[in-house]
Amino acid sequence: MKGTMTTPVLSPKILLVENDPAAADKIRAALSAAGSGSFDVIWVRQLSEALARLTRKGIGAILLELSLPDSQGMETFDKLSFTALYTTFGAVTTDTTKTVTTTGATNAITPWRPEITRKLDNGSATVTVLAVGPGTPNFGSALGIRMTVTVSWTELGRAQTVSLSTMRF
């Protein structure tokens, strides 16, 4: 009899950024009520702690209080989303650019591989994030980030490429 190999299903990690312990407890209780072991909640009290935690991988979602001891209002969201953008692709604050591809090692876009392969002959995708600002900025000092997604494939024997770029300030 052959044994079957199963891959354990990991609970999605949620980063909870909330400085009020009572509110954090209520949120964690509500998430627990959604199902037994449904979410792995990582709780931090300040934006600086959240930014440090985002430099490590594995966060699937963020629940964010906008009024924190070290940041207020939309500034909080802006800082967190800016950091999440480049760390998602494996970049760190000292990097100036980061490129990942669907044909490379496991990364943020390798889940696209089956769909691209199914729909496009010799298809691949590449995402490049680039720190933007005066001089030669790294992600820790950048004023903005340019992200470019490039999809390449073969059609009727000819190489085809489409690129899309966007800026985040």
Say how many CA atoms lie within 13 Å of 68 toward its Cβ. Answer: 25
Q: List C-alpha distances in Å: 159 to 36, 54, 62, 128, 167.
A: 49, 37, 39, 20, 27
Amino acid 37 reads: G
- Taking only the tens place, the pLDDT of each residue in 66-78 is 889 898 888 888 8
- Do 108 and 37 lie in one domain? The reply is no
Q: What is the pLDDT of residue 125?
A: 92
- Taking only the tens place, the pLDDT of each residue in 9-64 is 567 788 999 999 999 999 988 888 776 567 789 999 999 999 888 877 778 888 99
- Do 75 and 18 lie in one domain? The reply is yes
Whole domain around residue 48: which residue ranges?
11-88
Mark residue 115 as left, alpha or beta (left: phi above 0; alpha: psi -120 to 50; beta: remaining).
alpha
Reply yes or no on whether the pLDDT at 4 is more than 70.
no
Mark residue 79 as left, alpha or beta (left: phi above 0; alpha: psi -120 to 50; beta: remaining).
alpha
Last residue of a domain, which of 88, 107, 135?
Answer: 88
- How many helices (DSSP H) and strands (DSSP E) are in the chain? 4, 9
Q: What is the pLDDT of residue 97?
A: 93
- Do 106 and 76 lie in one domain? The reply is no
- Do 159 and 98 lie in one domain? The reply is yes
Reply yes or no on whether the pLDDT at 129 is more than 60.
yes
- Do 28 and 48 lie in one domain? The reply is yes
* Contact predicate 102/127, CB 8 Å: no
Position 64 in a domain: yes
Amino acid 117 reads: T
Q: What is the pLDDT of residue 7?
A: 47
Position 142 in a domain: yes
- Do 15 and 38 lie in one domain? The reply is yes
Report the CATH number that the domain containing residue 76 is assigned in CATH: 3.40.50.2300
- Taking only the tens place, the pLDDT of each residue in 88-126 is 888 888 999 999 998 888 888 888 888 888 888 889 999
pTM recorded for the entire structure = 0.64
Could you tell me the pLDDT band of residue 128, with boundaries at 50, 70 and 90? very high
- Do 44 and 78 lie in one domain? The reply is yes
| Helix (H), strand (E), coil (C) string for the chain | CCCCCCCCCCCCEEEEECCCHHHHHHHHHHHHHCCCCCCEEEEECCHHHHHHHHCCCCEEEEEECCEECCEECHHHHHHHHHHHHHHHCCCCCCCCEEEEECCCCCCCCHHHHHHHHHHCCCCEEEEEEEEECCCCCCCCCCCEEEEEEEEEEEECCEEEEEEEEEEEC
Of residues 154, 96, 104, the one with CA closest to residue 126: 104
Q: What is the pLDDT of residue 1?
A: 47
- Do 118 and 146 lie in one domain? The reply is yes
